[in-house]
Chains A and B, each alone.
Chain A
Amino acid sequence: MKLNRKEFLERAGRTGLAIFGSTALFEVLSGRELMAGVKNDPSAVRWAMAVDIPKFVNSSDYERCIQVCNKIHNIPQMNDKMHEIKWIWKEKYEHAFPEQSFIQVRSDLKERDILVMCNQCNNPPCVRVCPTQATWQRKDGIVMMDMHRCIGCRYCMAACPYGSRSFNFADPRKYLDIDNINMEYPTRTRGVVEKCDMCAERIDIGLKPLCVDACRDNSLIFGNLNDPKSDIRRALKKRYAIRRKPSLGTEPQVYYLV
Chain B
Amino acid sequence: MYDSSKVIPGLLVFLILVTVPVWYNLFSKTSGNVPDPVIDRKYNECVRPAKTMRETHMVLLNEWRDRVVRDSDRSTITVDGAVYHRSLTNTCIKCHSNKAQFCDRCHNYMDVSPDCWDCHSFPEEEPHEAQ
Interface residues of A (CB under 8 A from B): 136, 138, 140, 144, 146-148, 173-174, 178, 181, 183-189, 200-201, 204-205
- When distances are taken between beta carbons in the complex, the residues of chain B under 8 Å from A189 are 115, 118-119
Main secondary structure of the interface of A (DSSP, over half): loop
Chain A CB within 10 A, most for which of B65, B72, B89, B90:
B72
State which residues 77-131 of B face A: CB under 8 Å: 89-90, 115, 118-121, 123, 126-128
B1 beta carbon closer than 8 Å to chain A: no
> Tally of A-B residue pairs with Cβ under 8 A?
39
B93 to chain A, nearest CB (A): 9
Interface residues of B (CB under 8 A from A): 65, 69-70, 72, 74, 89-90, 115, 118-121, 123, 126-128
A182 to chain B, nearest CB (A): 8
Residue in B72, B89, B126, B128 whose beta carbon sits within 8 Å of that of A186 in the complex: B89
B89 close to A184 (CB less than 8 A): yes
In the bound complex, how far is the Cα of B73 from the Cα of A201, in angstroms? 10
A148 close to B69 (CB less than 8 A): yes
Residue in A146, A183, A200 whose beta carbon sits within 8 Å of that of B121 in the complex: A183
Nearest chain A residue, comparing its CB with the CB of B123: A183
B119 close to A186 (CB less than 8 A): yes
- When distances are taken between beta carbons in the complex, the residues of chain A under 8 Å from B72 are 138, 140, 144, 200, 204
Knowing A178-B128, A189-B115, the reply to whether A144 touches B69 (Cβ < 8 A) is: yes
In the bound complex, how far is the Cα of B89 from the Cα of A201, in angstroms? 14
Knowing A144-B69, A146-B69, A183-B89, the reply to whether A173 touches B127 (Cβ < 8 A) is: yes
Nearest chain B residue, comparing its CB with the CB of A138: B72
Nearest chain B residue, comparing its CB with the CB of A204: B74
27 pairs of residues in contact across A and B, judged by CB atoms under 8 Å: A136-B70, A138-B72, A140-B72, A146-B69, A146-B70, A148-B65, A148-B69, A173-B127, A174-B128, A178-B127, A178-B128, A183-B89, A183-B121, A183-B123, A184-B90, A185-B89, A186-B89, A186-B119, A186-B120, A186-B121, A187-B119, A187-B121, A188-B119, A189-B115, A189-B119, A204-B72, A204-B74
